[in-house]
Amino acid sequence: MSDHLILRIVGKFLIPYILLFGLYVQFHGDFGPGGGFQAGVIFASAFVIHTLLFGLESAERIAPQWVLKIVAASGVLIYALVGVAAMLMGGNYLDYDFLAADPIAGQHIGIILVEFGVGLTVASVMMLLFFTFAGRGEAS
């Protein structure tokens, strides 16, 4: 792995922009094409490139598996809590209209929070899957 100079330099150059594009797709999701699922996969692909170029140990130092597991679970929790919050504020489960005084503002807040949860879960689960397969044969 030590002699892949071109791949490493191009990878180092591209990874920040891939992360940025992932965030763009995440938070532009309610104005244009995008959303949590796509953004999560794009975000995770940056970490996959990092793992391919710099090794599993380096990637696990940046994103340890126990952190990823917590993030994956908390994404689902955010999704569920938005639904419960809508119920507490007088609507049905995941009824975004009740999240703010103005129904349209409520829709905005609701969809952004829910997509944020989806993005967190998808990104961390993709990374966990890749790390699990990449680490097979080394751990045992």
Partner 1 sequence: MDLLQWLSAILLLSGCALGVIGGIGINRFPDFYTRMHAAGVTDTLCAGLFFGGLMIHFGLTLASAKLFLIFLFMLFTCPTSTHALAKAARHSGLVPWTKTSGVEQGASK
Residue whose CB is less far from partner 1, 53 or 127: 53
6 binds partner 1 (CB under 8 A): yes
Among 25, 23, 26, 24, which residue's Cα sits nearest to residue 113?
Answer: 26
10 binds partner 1 (CB under 8 A): yes
Contact (Cβ atoms closer than 8 angstroms) between residue 56 and residue 71: no
Q: How many residues bind partner 1 (CB under 8 A)?
A: 7
Q: Which residues 16-45 are close enough to bind partner 1 by CB under 8 A?
A: 17
Residue whose CB is less far from partner 1, 28 or 69: 28
93 binds partner 1 (CB under 8 A): no
- Token duo for residue 64: 């340890």
Among 89, 114, 119, which residue's Cα sits nearest to residue 102?
Answer: 89
- Give the separation between CA 79 and CA 87, rounded to whole angstroms: 13
66 binds partner 1 (CB under 8 A): no
Helices (H), 55-99: 56-62, 65-88
13 binds partner 1 (CB under 8 A): yes
Binding site for partner 1 (CB under 8 A): 4, 6-7, 10, 13-14, 17
